[in-house]
């Protein structure tokens, strides 16, 4: 009989491997805020994606409308897309965000919309302290935290009604899944829905799942095979020349296509809303 997977430990291991590549990028940036040069581009990308409705926004908004006068904690609020969307439907919203560059754009978006019930707190979850809220939300902002158990337990501790998580759902049979199998021996290239869902079950939390109806995300692009190989190696925490370089280059050469002068990855990721009542 095969040994049972410790999904909480697997989450930690994947995050820590990713962190190795992230630390190298921080060193290249001389330790500056990783979002300093990307916050506005990130904000623009979100606004473009949100030009059309999706099932997650519809569902969460409807849930809040069922509980007028509620409060909500937005963990990893970024430039405020969720905060600005949901603030009109709650009494008070707390936007927690560690990046000063993100907060700067978040404040601009709040001011532009004239929203008066959003309080901004600079800090990282789960180490930041906050009062209890009726609802808590974390949209794709948990991927850098190795302690999934503490992250979720703190969410539960400060939530009176419902916890919401937005997580990426990669195709196990996709290119990154194949690369993960070759390099790590399992198909999980990143902290993602599959790992998180099983970790929640391991914690005796039995969440509901709503797969977003917008389909697969826009594909990644690279200027060259060399750049793509570098991105993959950073993702898997591979430093310098490694035993995997040849297979990485071969797989990318087989699966990436050239469009408008760029190398385009095959689509392989969508988003899921995971939620449970406390």
**pLDDT of the residue at 248:** 96
Residues sharing a CB contact under 8 Å with residue 110, sequence separation 6 or more, in sequence order: 80, 83, 84, 118, 120
pLDDT at 58: 98
pLDDT at residue 239, as a whole number: 82
Is residue 246 a part of any domain in this protein? Answer: no
pLDDT tens digit sequence for 143-167: 999 999 999 999 999 999 999 999 9
Does 243 fall in a domain? Answer: no
Q: Give the three-class secondary structure for 62.
A: helix
Residues of the chain with pLDDT under 70: 1-2, 22-33
Closest CA to 8 of 151, 115, 139: 151
Instruction: Please tell me what DSSP assigns to residue 261.
Output: T
Is residue 224 in a domain? no
Give the domain range for residue 201. Answer: 7-217+268-277
Task: Give the model's pLDDT for residue 36.
Answer: 83
Residue 86 located in a structural domain: yes
Q: Which CATH number is 157's domain given?
A: 3.40.50.150
Residue 160 domain-assigned (yes or no): yes
Tell me if 166 is assigned to some domain: yes
Number of domains in the chain: 1
Instruction: Report the C-alpha gap between 190 and 236 in whole angstroms.
Output: 9
Instruction: List the one residue out of 151, 12, 171 whose CA is nearest residue 75.
Output: 151
Residue 256 lies in a domain: no
pLDDT at 33: 65
Residue 23 confidence (pLDDT): 66
What whole-number distance in Å separates Cα of residue 194 and Cα of residue 267? 18
Q: What span, in angstroms and rounded, lies between the C-alpha atoms of 5 and 190?
A: 16
The answer to whether the Cα torsion of 237, 242, 245, 246 is positive or negative is negative
**Residue 240 pLDDT:** 85
Which pLDDT belongs to residue 241?
87
Cα dihedral: 59, 199, 232, 124 (round 10):
70
Tens digit of pLDDT for each residue in 52-77?
A: 999 999 999 999 999 999 999 999 99
Q: Is residue 61 part of a domain?
A: yes
């Amino acid at each position: 009989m095969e040994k049972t997977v410790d999904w909480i430990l697997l989450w930690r291991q994947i995050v820590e491997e990713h962190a190795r590549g992230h630390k190298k990028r921080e060193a290249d940036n001389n330790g500056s805020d990783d979002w300093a040069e990307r916050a506005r581009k990130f904000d623009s990308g979100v606004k473009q994606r949100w030009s059309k409705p999706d099932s997650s926004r519809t569902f969460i908004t409807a849930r809040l409308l069922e509980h007028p006068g509620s409060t909500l904690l937005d963990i990893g609020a970024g430039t405020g897309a969720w905060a600005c969307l949901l603030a009109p439907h709650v009494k008070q919203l707390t936007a927690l965000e560690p990046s000063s560059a993100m907060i700067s754009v978040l404040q601009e978006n709040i001011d532009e919309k004239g929203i008066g019930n959003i309080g901004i707190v600079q800090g990282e979850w789960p180490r930041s302290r906050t009062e209890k809220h009726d609802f808590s939300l974390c949209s794709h902002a948990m991927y850098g935290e190795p302690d999934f158990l503490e992250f979720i337990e703190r969410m539960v501790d400060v939530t009176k009604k419902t916890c919401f998580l937005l997580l990426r759902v990669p195709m196990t049979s996709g290119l990154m899944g194949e690369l993960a199998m070759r390099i790590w021996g399992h198909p999980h290239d990143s902290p993602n829905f599959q790992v998180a869902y099983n970790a929640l079950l391991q914690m005796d939390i039995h969440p509901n799942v709503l797969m977003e109806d917008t389909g697969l995300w826009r594909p990644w692009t690279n200027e060259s095979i060399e750049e793509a190989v570098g991105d993959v190696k950073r993702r898997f925490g591979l430093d310098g020349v490694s035993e995997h370089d040849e297979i990485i280059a071969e797989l990318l050469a087989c699966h990436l296509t050239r469009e408008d002068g760029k190398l385009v990855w095959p689509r392989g990721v969508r988003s899921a809303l995971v939620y449970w009542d406390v």
